[in-house]
Amino acid sequence: MGIWFTEKQTANFGITAKIKQTLATVKTDFQELEMIQTEEWGNMLVLDDMVMTTEKDEFVYHEMVAHVPLFTHPNPKKVLVVGGGDGGVIREVLKHKSVEKATLVEVDGKVLEYSKKYLPTIAGALDDDRVEVKVDDGFMYIANSKREFDVILVDSTEPVGPAVSLFTQGFYTGIHKALKDDGIFVAQTDNPWFKADLIRQVYNDVGEIFSVTTLYTANIPTYPSGLWTFTMGSKIHHPLKVKKERFTDIETNYYTSELHYACFALPKFVKDLTE
């Protein structure tokens, strides 16, 4: 039968992948980290028994975190990524020629180390000259920043362990202060099938702080339910008012200029979470 890895996404539901081999297992200062080579998804990063990314479908998440806000902003030069130690969001950010500096703040240095070793197609851009990598607490880094960034991207795990503080209104308030006057931020906000209350709470919290609050979705097969949400908070710019000439040609596998608008069309049960 072989060896299988199962992520229990709820007490009664999970997804399973057949394993070729376990590449690494380490207990970091923050979490249990595993690198698994799977038959279907290639190499897979697992933190505390939750799938973080895989070689096969990683492009969906990373492209949608990065390109929706970066094309919404008219001229993003300075970008901050909180979390995202696998490097995928940084890779996508650097596709925008206007970006002069991209700072990555990852609390767990082991995620950086093992991603570079086992996920080189994802983490390869971390050594780019435009990238500054800091092993630090994202919450505190945000708290100590003021009007510094054009775009902030929160690439966190689910709200457990070290990521709990990244789903609080205090964190979003700190992000608002850390952004320039026309700044934008996006955070991954889990799935509407199992985490509806979380999405509703985050959307309401962000809406109390930012002038423009929107929710969009993407299909990510290895994430719980496959339907994933992202919450955007913007001080000025609305993602649906981006003019078509704003889009430039970049290499993507999921994101397109047409999808930029379409991803904000929500199924009714998801739209209900924003009302």
d(CA 39, CA 29): 30
> How many CA atoms, within 13 angstroms, populate the side-chain half-sphere of residue 207?
11
3-state secondary structure of 149: strand
* 155: annotated active-site residue: yes
Output the known binding site for S-methyl-5'-thioadenosine: 31, 106, 137-138, 162
d(CA 271, CA 129): 41
> How many CA atoms, within 13 angstroms, populate the side-chain half-sphere of residue 236?
9
Output the known binding site for spermidine: 62, 86, 155-158
> How many CA atoms, within 13 angstroms, populate the side-chain half-sphere of residue 34?
17
Beta carbons within 8 Å of 252's beta carbon, 6+ residues apart: 59, 63, 67
Pick the catalytic residue from 57, 155, 190, 205: 155
Give me the active site residues, please.
155
